[in-house]
Structure formats: C-alpha cells, structure tokens
Amino acid sequence: MTNPIAVFLAVLILAGLGADLLLNDGEATMVLARKFFDLIEWVAFWR
C-alpha cells in the first residue's frame, strides 16, 4: 500500500466517522463496535 492510498483511506474513514457523529450521534459506530466485539468473542470461542 502506498502512502497516498493510506492517507486517502484514513481521510475516508475519518470523514465517515465524522458524518456519523454529526448525523446519527454516533449510533452506527456503536453498532459496528458491538458487532466487532461479538465477532471477537465468537472467534475466541473457536480458538
């Protein structure tokens, strides 16, 4: 991955998080975080 691609992805992620905070009060981020923690628990079970 080149530096311009990494910077573009970082800006895109930060813009998405910012839009979620402004438009949805961060609800989508919280849902994704909860689902991610559920995934971690599920993967740890199969470990």
**pLDDT for 24:** 94
pLDDT 10s digits, 4-27: 999 999 999 999 999 999 999 999
Contact (Cβ atoms closer than 8 angstroms) between residue 22 and residue 31: no
Tell me the C-alpha distance between 43 and 46, whole Å.
5
Q: Does residue 40 register a pLDDT over 90?
A: yes
Burial of 44 from C-beta contacts in 10 A (0-12 / 13-18 / 19+): exposed
pLDDT at 26: 92
pTM for the full predicted model: 0.72
Which range of residues forms the domain containing residue 37? 3-46
Q: Is the pLDDT of residue 45 over 80?
A: no
Total tally of structural domains belonging to the chain: 1
